[in-house]
């Protein structure tokens, strides 16, 4: 058997982050009718932050949060834990979709991250934050050129950025594939343990009096008289003044949300803890950089506190026909074998290292590649969905927009195009699947072709649609 397949033999299908002793018990489902001021649907970062932000703004707010399985079972407990200040997924994307708002979004993103970290301190939430910045590596000459140009521009602007040429880069992290590195070390960007963040928020919310019901799936919502909403879950009804939908990439009861996001599957692996010899062979443990490679189908990888490597993304990312989210999309051997092969191409000296965990999750992808807020039912229902692979930090800001859209201390951010501008809806099937699949193949080809983009991607670039997650 090939070594990269053997490395997966003892892995268990479970997010590394879920597999910890500190994981709290799942709370019981809602079994009888209830009423509240605000109903939050979804127990990921968006839902949890929304509840906390509202409790901080209005301590007497009466909130129920329902989660269909358990807190952190969605993307929030399955991600890479890369904590970024970016709200709109990079400068090019920001300039295209929200012209003139780049500086404000930059500031809001920094403020959001600073407040997020301050909140963790205030409530003693140990999310294992490490301020390591973000390191992009080049693995082909075209990427070196593009990254260098970006480095020069950011340096000239006064950002705290560092350039590593090939030798310096490999001294930081030893991979024979690296040609250069570009380290953004300003601000608060870093890594966290995402499940611990969810669990910490859950504990705080319970102390603040938020009623949380796990194993409680929303089946439908409808108006209830002139100024209330009625939400049905199995065996019970919840009456509320307002509803926040924080269901991200999952199938939504609201058609508007279904047209806004598509679920894209992303797969991840975690290794067993590296021993001294393995650590020395890559040297990465000294800097503990959070890394991604400059490519269309990029990998993102990082160290954990017990010196494992988590490794995700790359060519394994997939969209399945008809927005598939069933269990048949989750544990697909070929995806993990591909990830494993790509891991050992990057770190051949780690041959023999085994993977302990493999898992997958749904990335809610919007056509503007960043969060999309919206309202329905005369402003009594709001949502923020579609963070497109960059939602660990941004979801707190999405939660803020969500509660402000519901009328809780609205601020000027609601006037920004970032909030008011509607994204292009995703086209129906089979065009959706065809479009995404053709684009993904073109992106893979461009990566193999030293970054050279073919005609299809050039066309999408003109519309700013040639992007992954
Ligand atoms: C594999 C992977 C890696 C990622 N890596 C990163 C990263 O490193 N950095 C980064 O910034 N972002 C990353 N992301 C994106 C980030 O995790 C998400 O943007 C973020 O977690 C979204 O949070 P959320 O609360 O909006 O959605 P989710 O965490 O998906 O929460 C939605 C919740 O709603 C619940 N739900 C759905 N339908 C119903 C219903 N009908 N009734 C009740 N509950 C319902 C779901 O069960 C789920 O728990 C990654 C995502 C994935 C999948």
Residues 355, 70, 209, 82: is their CA dihedral positive or negative?
positive
Read off the pTM: 0.96
Q: 445: CA distance to ligand 1 center in Å?
A: 29
Cβ 78 under 6 angstroms from ligand 1: yes
Paired tokens of 127: 């999310």
Are residues 57 and 409 in contact, defined by beta-carbon separation less than 8 angstroms?
yes
Q: 285: CA distance to ligand 1 center in Å?
A: 29
Cβ 458 under 6 angstroms from ligand 1: no
Cis peptide before 104 (omega within 30 of 0): no
pLDDT, the chain, mean: 95
Taking CA atoms, 431 is separated from 243, 256, 265, 428, in Å, by 32, 18, 18, 6
Give the whole-number percent of the chain exceeding pLDDT 70: 99
Strand 299-303, strand 309-313: pairing: antiparallel
Residue 399: CB partners within 8 Å, gap ≥ 6? 45, 46, 47, 48, 49, 50, 53, 246, 384
Q: In angstroms, rounded to a whole number, what is the distance separating the alpha carbons of residues 366 and 394?
A: 14
- For residue 452, pLDDT over 90 is answered with no
Q: 251: CA distance to ligand 1 center in Å?
A: 12
Q: What is the pLDDT of residues 82-97, one digit of tens each?
A: 999 999 988 888 998 9
Ligand 1 pocket, mutate which of 75, 310, 329 (most atoms under 8 A from CB): 75
pLDDT of residue 460: 84
Cβ 313 under 6 angstroms from ligand 1: no
The DSSP letter of residue 408 is S
pLDDT of residue 466: 57
Q: What is the pLDDT of residues 332-383, one digit of tens each?
A: 999 999 999 999 999 999 999 999 999 999 999 999 999 999 999 999 999 9
Confidence label for 133 from pLDDT (cuts 50, 70 and 90): very high
- For residue 469, pLDDT over 50 is answered with no
Cβ 82 under 6 angstroms from ligand 1: yes
Taking CA atoms, 46 is separated from 40, 49, 124, 292, in Å, by 9, 5, 20, 25
Cβ 238 under 6 angstroms from ligand 1: no
Fold of 21-90+194-261+368-420: FAD/NAD(P)-binding domain (3.50.50)
Helix (H) or strand (E) holding 397: helix 394-405
What residue spans define the domains of the chain? 21-90+194-261+368-420, 431-462
Cβ 314 under 6 angstroms from ligand 1: no
Q: 138: CA distance to ligand 1 center in Å?
A: 29
């Amino acid at each position: 058997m090939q070594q990269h397949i053997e490395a997966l033999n003892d892995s268990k299908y479970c997010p590394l982050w879920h597999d910890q002793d500190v994981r709290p018990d799942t709370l019981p489902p809602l079994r009888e009718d209830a009423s509240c001021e605000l109903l939050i649907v979804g127990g990921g970062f968006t839902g949890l932050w929304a509840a906390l932000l509202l409790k901080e703004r209005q301590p007497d707010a009466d909130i129920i949060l329902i989660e269909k399985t358990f807190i952190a079972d969605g993307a929030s407990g399955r991600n890479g834990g890369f904590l970024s200040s970016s709200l709109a997924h990079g400068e090019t994307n920001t300039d295209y979709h929200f012209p003139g708002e780049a500086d404000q979004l930059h500031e809001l993103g920094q403020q959001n991250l600073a407040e997020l970290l301050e909140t963790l301190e205030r409530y003693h939430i140990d999310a294992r934050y490490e301020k390591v910045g973000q390191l992009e590596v080049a693995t082909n000459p075209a990427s070196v050129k593009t990254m260098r140009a970006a480095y020069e521009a950011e340096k000239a602007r006064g950002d705290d950025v560092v350039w590593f040429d090939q030798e310096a880069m490999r001294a930081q992290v030893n991979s024979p594939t690296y040609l250069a590195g570009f380290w953004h070390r300003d601000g608060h960007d870093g890594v966290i343990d995402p499940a611990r963040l969810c669990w910490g928020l859950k504990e705080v919310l319970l102390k603040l009096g938020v009623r949380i019901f796990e194993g409680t799936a929303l089946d439908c919502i409808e108006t209830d008289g002139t100024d209330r909403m009625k939400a049905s879950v199995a065996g019970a009804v919840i009456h509320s003044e307002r509803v926040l939908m924080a269901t991200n990439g999952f199938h939504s009861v609201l058609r508007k949300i279904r047209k806004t996001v598509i679920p894209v599957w992303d797969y991840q692996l975690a290794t067993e803890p590296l021993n001294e010899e393995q650590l020395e062979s890559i040297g990465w443990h000294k800097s503990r950089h959070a890394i991604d490679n400059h490519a269309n189908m990029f990998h993102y990888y990082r160290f954990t506190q017990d010196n494992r490597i988590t490794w995700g993304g790359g060519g394994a990312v997939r969209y399945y026909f008809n927005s598939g989210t069933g269990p048949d999309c989750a544990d697909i051997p070929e995806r993990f074998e591909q990830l494993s092969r790509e891991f050992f191409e990057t770190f051949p000296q780690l041959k023999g290292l085994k993977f302990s965990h493999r898992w997958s999750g749904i990335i809610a992808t919007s056509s503007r590649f960043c969060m999309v807020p919206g309202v329905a039912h005369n402003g009594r229902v709001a949502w923020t969905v579609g963070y497109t692979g960059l939602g660990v930090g941004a979801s707190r800001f999405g939660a803020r927009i969500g509660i402000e859209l519901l009328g809780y201390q609205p601020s000027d951010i609601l006037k920004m195009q970032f909030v008011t501008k509607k994204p292009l809806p995703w086209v129906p099937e089979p065009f959706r699947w065809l479009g995404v699949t053709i684009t993904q193949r073109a992106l893979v080809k461009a990566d193999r072709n030293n970054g050279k983009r073919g005609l299809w991607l050039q066309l999408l670039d003109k519309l700013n649609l040639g992007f992954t997650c």
